[in-house]
Amino acid sequence: MIEVRNARKSYGETVVVDDVSITVPAGGVISLIGANGAGKSTLLSIISRLLPAPAGTVMVEGMDVTTTPGDVLARRLSILRQDNQMTARLTVRDLIAFGRYPHSKGRPTVEDRGHVERVIRYLELEAVAHRFLDELSGGQRQRAFIAMVLCQDTRYILLDEPLNNLDVKHAVAMMKLFRRTADAFGKTIILVLHDINFASCYSDRIVAMRDGRIAFEGPPEEIITPAVIREVYGVEAAIQEIDGKRVALYFR
Ligand SMILES: Nc1ncnc2c1ncn2[C@@H]1O[C@H](COP(=O)(O)OP(=O)(O)OP(=O)(O)O)[C@@H](O)[C@H]1O
Ligand SMILES: [Mg+2]
């Protein structure tokens, strides 16, 4: 379980995460949605300790993230950042192997290498595994970074806009992989998504942020409604149910 209590972050006078409290139970796929600037990435950064929160507490399985040693936390929680920049000239396989670092401490075992090769297969990166990151397309690079995070094999996985740069086929495959990973291994996957229909079709719960606060939270059938979408994004959407899933059409 992740418990965030009264998290708050400001830049100068501007409060960007405003007294947020949220409990995420273990297991399942939770999507975080909201307009640009709503505070989604800032909240994920606070949870993963990339950003020290000036106020509030974050507990991951009862461990306070601000006092838990980094290597202990890194075996429980992993994060894909929205802007992945890597200055070092690394191959895809080397990048993915970095995900094992909290476990292997730089001395990879046969098991660590097995994890790397399995993730390469799952994400269909075999053909580019030997290439350097600057020799990849945008979508291939995004999949390599997601592979690194999955290779860390933590119970809690935070992914900030994992579908960036992915084509429709790879985006669907990725969401199915997240769903399977949550269902088969009991992982807790928190995703920031801009495509509310992906959020609707693959999440157990959706959390909608607005102006640094959690505006709505619930299962997709409660969140994918014209009223909530109007409140969160200021657009008019028509909702249809297809195969038992709610789908929003917002570009009429
Ligand atoms: N280093 C910073 N200095 C000043 N303001 C910042 C900084 N980082 C973020 N902000 C502001 O904090 C607010 C929340 O940013 P955040 O990145 O959390 O939004 P987001 O919901 O992830 O948006 P997006 O969908 O565009 O990624 C924005 O108004 C942003 O301009
Ligand atoms: Mg963001």
Length of the chain counted residue by residue:
252
Nearest CA-CA partner of 23 in 50, 49, 58: 58
Nearest CA-CA partner of 171 in 161, 180, 158, 181: 161
Residue 16, ligand 1, Cβ within 6 A: yes
> Given this model, what pLDDT does residue 84 score?
82
Q: Whose CA is nearest to atom 5 of ligand 1?
A: 11
Q: Which ligand is nearest to the CA of 16?
A: 1
Give the C-alpha separation, 91 to 226, whole Å.
45
Residue of 16, 81, 163 best suited for mutating to test ligand 1, as the one with most atoms within 8 Å of CB: 16
Which ligand 1 atom is nearest residue 194's CA?
25
Query: Of all residues in the chain, what percent carry a pLDDT higher than 70?
Result: 99
Give the C-alpha separation, 191 to 74, whole Å.
18
4-19 average pLDDT score: 95
Q: Whose CA is nearest to atom 3 of ligand 1?
A: 11
Q: What angle do CA 207, 49, 64 make, to 5 degrees?
A: 90
Residue 38, ligand 1, Cβ within 6 A: yes
CATH of 1-76+155-219, one of 3.40.50.300, 3.40.50.1110, 3.30.1360.180, 3.30.70.890: 3.40.50.300
Q: Over the chain, what is the mean pLDDT? A: 95
Tokens encoding 51: 């950003």
C-alpha 197 to ligand 1 mean position (Å): 23
Residues 60-96 pLDDT 10s: 999 999 999 999 999 999 999 998 877 778 999 999 9
> Given this model, what pLDDT does residue 41 score?
97
Q: Whose CA is nearest to atom 25 of ligand 1?
A: 36
> Given this model, what pLDDT does residue 185 score?
94
> Given this model, what pLDDT does residue 106 score?
83
Q: Which ligand is nearest to the CA of 208?
A: 1
Residue 200, ligand 1, Cβ within 6 A: no
C-alpha 127 to ligand 2 mean position (Å): 30
> Given this model, what pLDDT does residue 153 score?
96
Question: Domain-by-domain residue ranges, the chain?
Answer: 1-76+155-219, 86-153
> Given this model, what pLDDT does residue 215 score?
98
Residue 83, ligand 1, Cβ within 6 A: no
Q: Whose CA is nearest to atom 1 of ligand 1?
A: 11
DSSP the chain: -EEEEEEEEEETTEEEEEEEEEEE-SSEEEEEEE-TTSSHHHHHHHHTTSS--SEEEEEETTEETTTS-HHHHHTTEEEE-SS----S--BHHHHHHHTTHHHHTT---HHHHHHHHHHHHHTT-GGGTTSBGGGS-HHHHHHHHHHHHHHT--SEEEEESTTTT--HHHHHHHHHHHHHHHHHH--EEEEE-S-HHHHHHH-SEEEEEETTEEEEEE-HHHHSSHHHHHHHHS---EEEEETTEEEEE---
Residue predicted with more confidence, 54 or 239 = 239
Q: Whose CA is nearest to atom 28 of ligand 1?
A: 37
Which ligand 1 atom is nearest residue 39's CA?
18
C-alpha 241 to ligand 2 mean position (Å): 29
